[in-house]
Chain A
């Protein structure tokens, strides 16, 4: 087992769809070109993002922020022909070695979440790395730090006493698309 297994819980009951995570990630990580490491969709994925669901008067509007799920069994890592896509054994964070990547795009095709995003400036794949440099210094990722609704909780899933582990247990957090068998490390409440 890894020393740490970083993961995230996202409370869809708190998310207001403000896109601060999307913009904060893009600016703070200086994500180049049209690449996006974070985006937000309607919780009903067949609906437009700001379209309410249900029939009046029982309508609702909820969101699903998406990012790399840093899966325990990541399809991108298994299918990357170069080995550029890799999972850190000590943290569980999945990241890409851009100096090895050939930018074939296959990781984005096999990822159930479409998380890898092509850096069309440097012509290599890019993706969310849970802000691993910040995390190694004891901070939380930018998207967690910037969320005005405190909808994101980050921490070590191997530690049962961490906030993220406790809230996933208390609120019965569920991963997105578990049927794809990649064992995601992001849970939705």
Chain B
């Protein structure tokens, strides 16, 4: 089962982290005219591009015939092919962003927003690809869309906080809000899974504690002055990352093992 689940977890985690990070960067980073200090823009853009590449490479491990992967782009009506098209589109835009940041020293706001927009489409297409799996009851629910999309935003936020967290209090606030929304999405997924004969309660509670309760506690410590912004950012990033990965593992194990 691990060989079936792992490539999907790696793909959705890495690509979700990359596109989610661009969304957060567009909202709270340089693109919004609030350029974070530290000159890490190039490293951030390059990391996102590498993560997207790692995610796409992981999908090859999911295929029985990886050498024929180009065949998987033949049918535009297929959600899998659409994931490929949008992944390539976001990859090209990210590459341009990496080059522009390297050449100009700062990102172009319009390009960051374009990547964020295409990234949102990719998040939705990915989520709908699993939602459309009518043969896998545990995935065929609206909660799947929220678990994937909100999970991607949280993963992106984790990456953004690792790079720019200490200088972006707004992003930290987004973290608290999204963590709360994540709890609702997880609860909906647990209910849907129960209705379709799967039990993902344990992993979802674990994910909820890691990606919802603990980040809010970190925020409280930071607000109380008992944790500086840098440490709070790193702590929240780690908690969000592990919390979402736990939920992703449970999501795919419930579907593939069904």
A residues near B (Cβ < 8 Å) are 75, 78-84, 100-106, 108-114, 118, 123-125, 180
The CA-CA distance from A103 to B27 in the complex, in Å, is: 39
* B65 adjacent to A103 (CB under 8 Å): yes
* B71 adjacent to A102 (CB under 8 Å): yes
B residues near A (Cβ < 8 Å) are 62-66, 68-69, 71-75, 77-81, 84, 129, 132-136, 139, 255
B41 to chain A, nearest CB (A): 35
Tell which of A78, A81, A111, A113 has the most Cβ of chain B within 10 Å: A81
- In the bound complex, residues from chain B placing their C-beta under 8 Å from that of A110 are 132-135
- In the bound complex, residues from chain A placing their C-beta under 8 Å from that of B79 are 79, 106
**CB-based nearest B residue for A85:** B75
The CA-CA distance from A1 to B73 in the complex, in Å, is: 29
The CA-CA distance from A34 to B156 in the complex, in Å, is: 40
* B65 adjacent to A79 (CB under 8 Å): no
* A124 adjacent to B64 (CB under 8 Å): yes
The CA-CA distance from A101 to B67 in the complex, in Å, is: 11
- In the bound complex, residues from chain A placing their C-beta under 8 Å from that of B80 are 79, 81, 104, 106
The CA-CA distance from A83 to B24 in the complex, in Å, is: 37
- In the bound complex, residues from chain B placing their C-beta under 8 Å from that of A114 are 135
Pick the contact of B133 from A84, A102, A103, A109 — CB < 8 Å?
A109
Q: Nearest 3 A-B pairs (CB), nearest first?
A: A103-B64, A123-B64, A109-B133
B4 to chain A, nearest CB (A): 8
The CA-CA distance from A123 to B73 in the complex, in Å, is: 19
A40 to chain B, nearest CB (A): 18
* A80 adjacent to B68 (CB under 8 Å): no
* B75 adjacent to A83 (CB under 8 Å): yes
Pick the contact of B68 from A100, A108, A109, A180 — CB < 8 Å?
A100
A69 to chain B, nearest CB (A): 12
B58 to chain A, nearest CB (A): 13
* B78 adjacent to A78 (CB under 8 Å): yes
* A81 adjacent to B133 (CB under 8 Å): no
* A108 adjacent to B135 (CB under 8 Å): yes
Pick the contact of A82 from B62, B66, B75, B135 — CB < 8 Å?
B75
The CA-CA distance from A63 to B72 in the complex, in Å, is: 37
Q: When A84-B71, A100-B71, A109-B136 are in contact, do A78 and B63 touch as well, CB less than 8 Å?
A: no
- In the bound complex, residues from chain B placing their C-beta under 8 Å from that of A103 are 63-65
- In the bound complex, residues from chain B placing their C-beta under 8 Å from that of A75 are 134
**CB-based nearest A residue for B130:** A109
**CB-based nearest B residue for A108:** B135
The CA-CA distance from A171 to B139 in the complex, in Å, is: 35
- In the bound complex, residues from chain A placing their C-beta under 8 Å from that of B129 are 106
- In the bound complex, residues from chain B placing their C-beta under 8 Å from that of A123 are 64-65
A selection of 18 A-B contacts at a CB cut-off of 8 Å is A79-B77, A81-B75, A81-B80, A82-B68, A101-B64, A101-B65, A102-B63, A102-B64, A104-B63, A106-B79, A106-B80, A106-B129, A109-B133, A109-B255, A110-B135, A111-B135, A113-B135, A125-B64
